[in-house]
Amino acid sequence: MSFGSPGGRSVNIKPTPPERGSFPLDHDGECKSIISSYLQCLKKGGGVNDEACRKLAKSYLTCRMENNLMAPDNFENLGLVFDEDKKKEAAAPTAATSESKKS
């Protein structure tokens, strides 16, 4: 009985691409400080669903978007919407309509 022989009952596994496609690595370390803070937050026991860690994840993705390291996307699609974001969005249209009424 030989183990690992070619053609023998080997399972052919096909790699699957990432859900959102490939993205360039941060070779210049433009977002390195943010990701280190995020990893420290996870190590402290905050966990992925801790609000402080999620805000760090959002700032990391913002940094990647600003530096063209990933395609811009809406944070609702990424699952990173917070209560204060919703309040800002709700206040923004009313401020825009009041400015248009003044003109």
Q: What is the pTM of this model?
A: 0.63
- The secondary structure of 33-74 as a DSSP string is HHHHHHHHHHHTT--TT-HHHHHHHHHHHHHHHHTTSS----
Name the residue ranges covered by the structural domains of the chain: 27-78
Angle at 11 between CA 6 and CA 15, to 5 degrees: 115
Report the alpha-carbon distance of residue 58 to residue 80 in Å, rounded: 6
pLDDT per residue, tens digit, the chain (103 aa), is 555 556 556 667 777 766 666 667 888 899 999 999 999 999 988 677 888 898 999 999 999 999 988 888 898 888 888 877 776 767 766 554 555 455 4
**Side-chain half-sphere exposure of 40, counting CA atoms within 13 A:** 7
Tokens 């490939």 found at: 22
